[in-house]
Chains A and B, each alone.
Chain A
Amino acid sequence: MEDREIVELYWARSETAISETEKKYGKYCHSVAGRILSSAEDAEECVNDAYLAAWESIPPQKPERLSVYLGKLTRNLSINRYVRNTAAKRSATVDAVFDEIAECIPDPDTEGDRTDEIVLREAINAFLGSLSKRDRVVFVKRYWYVEPIAAVARETALTESNVKVILSRTRNKFRKYLEKEGVTI
């Protein structure tokens, strides 16, 4: 079923909207949650919460790319759950991603009121637009999809050390870009 048709089911408050969503994007949502949460039960709960969030937000939302919309809902819920989980449920991969992305936080000298979300969105996407497709894909796979280095390397036909170098350089560029733009987190 097309995304448009599934969204129409939501608008019509049809009971099959969720089942069609799960049929088409269930595995995708599980993979997003599963990369962040080590517990299958937690991942399952987050995916179910994402379906509920989709049900409650559509309408009035009318997403054009349903997979990305669901992916964002799932990602958000999973990260929130991950942060709330105890140490025993933490993952070395996800902790590493948190540590790495923290390197991009601009220098404390630029401290001030937190940058408006619209400005931050424009800055992030302008920066990503300036990268080569390869570097951008590596960056998004690591920090949006929270994929392990090995998985990023495999999917981009690069070696792991290549990926690490690309990420390190991109983080450095990103931090300098945010500082230059006066962005604060």
Chain B
Amino acid sequence: MKRKRMMDSMNLIDDRYVEEAKPGAYRPRRRVWFRVATVAACLAVALSALGLWMFLPFRETNGDVTQYRDSEYYEIIRKLDDFYQNRGDQPRNNFELYVSPIFQDGIRIAKMYSMDAVIMESKAETRAAGESWAYASKENPTDLQVSGVDETDLIKRTASHIFYVDDDDFTLFAYSIDGENSEAVGKYAYGGRQKGDYQHCRGMYLSEDGNTVFLILFGWDRDYPVTKLAVLDVSDPANITEQKCLIVRGSYATSRFVDGTVLLMTYCYFNKTPDYGDETTFIPQVDTGDGFCGVDADHIVCPERLSGCSYTVVSAVDAETLEILGTEAYLSLNENFYVSGDSVYLFRLEQDYVGLREVECKDAEATFKAYTYDSTFSKTVISRLGYRDGLRDLGSVAVKGWIKDQYSADEYEGVLRVVTTVDSNTFVGPESYSFENTVNASLYCVDTETMKVISAIESFAPAGESVRSVRFDGAMGYVCTSIQAKDPVFFFNLSDPENVTYTHTGTIEGFSTSLVNFTDGYLVGIGVGESAINLKIEVYKEAEDQVVSVCKAEKACWYSDDYKSYLIDRKNGLIGLGIEEESYYVEDDCEGSRYLLYRFDPESETLTEVCNIAIPGSVDRKRAVYIDGYLYVMSWQYFEVVSLDAAAR
């Protein structure tokens, strides 16, 4: 601990000494003179080259875009051109780009570091006929948000085997399910740390018949991010082989697996000012089987106002043949996704500004001019993309605020319920150039047919509180908000979306980062207690028009807020997760990295710790599953089977 404190005390070093020692800042005397002598010798040549570079004009790429009016992408071209034009006066040469701004206000071109998105053809042989790619196995340990819509996870299983992705070792493991006799029976190495290796697995799917694993990997093809869908034959877990793959050029965002189709969401970036005469410089390219071509203009959705020139691409991939069945591209980056039984909902955060003007401001040091807005506030644009019977854009709607994650949205009986954190900044005054920030939470109900808001409960939380966790369960919705380490939990009755009512717990210590609808109408909150290093698992129920806490368990430790890392077993009343106690990283105590399992008994309304074992690895990647009295626990280079005693069953 003292070693770490001593290391931390180095942060007290004065800024000027830190800057003095910055790489490249220190010039030993003899080096300075050496460089001066070198520069003097090369000065004549360097000045000539510099002059040429400075004043050589940039290539005029596009000019008047009406010349492209016959292009199917003309509307997109106009919007992109508007976007680039409104980013400010474009410098004509490097002198205007780099030197002019020293003497006048100028606007630099933002050179985004980005990639083309290209779908590359699968290479291996096709799958044997008759093999099933239907919905995931009934033993699926992943607690799905939507029944029938499978999500990737590091763990999947059949009746006889567990498959686990050890991403620290770039290996898929297969373990037998045999109680205390369980063991690793096979493995497959999918990546590594060498250049060109795939370095991260984003999770896997498992076919219903348990014979095929679908791995989603992230890597780099030279300078381009790529997503690889690898199909593995696991019918013989001792001999796992790759059958075929699909490589998509683009950053992986998320995916779902529904009825034999993989819905793949990726990001496509373009890094240069586009040449509208060459669609590969501004339109995502798709491999149709006959070579690459741009996504049809009819399948590109453009917002009214562009905030960037990157795309979110949704592809429907046949899991059996890896054929791309359809593609829809959104000219915007969507940060979150929710997938229902028939639609992909994309969520894009935007900022709205009201009242741009120039003001004279002053602070403690100086008086200066600045552009400001009377107020700014965030909003989320929700787009609906139907995926049954082909990909079709079904409209969009905007709501105030931003969503935390996929659990903040849910579609039920034709209504999309969305919970957002709403925030706004109001310019207070020029004297201090400051803004007053307000934060709260809101719930919106959207008719999915018309994509219009039909009701809203706005700012329902105490002032300053943001949304920490959300869970919907049929006609009920649960929301936890907080400002620091205190929260209320709200219970919403959404049986009539146009007349929503709610109750809450009042302020209680801590807040939940995940809410789980558990057994018999109980709600479980997994989160922090009175401080950030205090795990709290609390069970709530609704009783007599109020919400009450029935029991809780607390422990001084860190935990993962990745929902997929939790064991949620409603049938047996079990909740499990990985933790790290303070001793683990302060004193390097390996025993401090652990896996906890609790059991909730609805009859006695108690939460009991039934297993607490030391296991290595990061909290995000620990996984466990309970099968017939045994807890199977997996982590980095680790597999253990724990027999739970009769009292814990």
Which residues on A are within 8 Å of B, measured CB to CB?
1, 8, 11-15, 19, 23, 31, 40-41, 59, 64-65, 67-68, 71-72, 75-76, 79-80, 83-84, 86, 88, 97-99, 101-102, 104-105, 114, 117, 120-121, 124-125, 128, 133-134, 136-137, 140-141, 143-145, 147, 155-158, 185
Contact = CB atoms under 8 A, between A and B. Distances in A.
Contacts of A144: 10-11, 13, 18, 21
B468 to A, nearest CB: 15
B434 A140 contact: no
Nearest to A26: B113
Contacts of B376: 12-13
B199 interface: yes
B433 A11 contact: yes
Given A65-B19, A144-B18, A80 B617 contact: no
Nearest to B361: A8
Contact of A31 (B23, B372, B373, B593): B23
Given A102-B6, A124-B13, A144-B18, 13 more contacts: A11-B435, A23-B110, A31-B23, A75-B11, A86-B616, A99-B3, A102-B3, A117-B12, A121-B12, A124-B10, A140-B21, A143-B10, A156-B26
20 contacts: A11-B434, A11-B435, A12-B373, A19-B110, A75-B11, A79-B7, A80-B585, A84-B580, A86-B617, A97-B7, A101-B10, A102-B6, A105-B2, A136-B21, A143-B7, A144-B10, A144-B13, A155-B24, A157-B28, A157-B31
A8 B437 CA distance: 15
Contact of A86 (B10, B434, B636): B636
A142 B315 CA distance: 49
Contact of B26 (A67, A101, A137): A137
Interface string B10-46: 1111110111111110101011000000000000000
Given A13-B376, A13-B435, A80-B585, A101 B21 contact: no
Interface residues of B, number: 51
A68 B15 contact: yes
A102 B17 CA distance: 21
B370 interface: yes
B2 A13 contact: no
Contacts of A72: 11, 18
A133 B370 CA distance: 40
B586 interface: yes
B585 A83 contact: yes
Given A120-B12, A144-B10, A156-B26, A59 B19 contact: no
Interface in B583-626: 584-586, 588, 593, 616-618
Contact of B23 (A11, A124, A155): A155
B6 A128 contact: no
B200 interface: yes
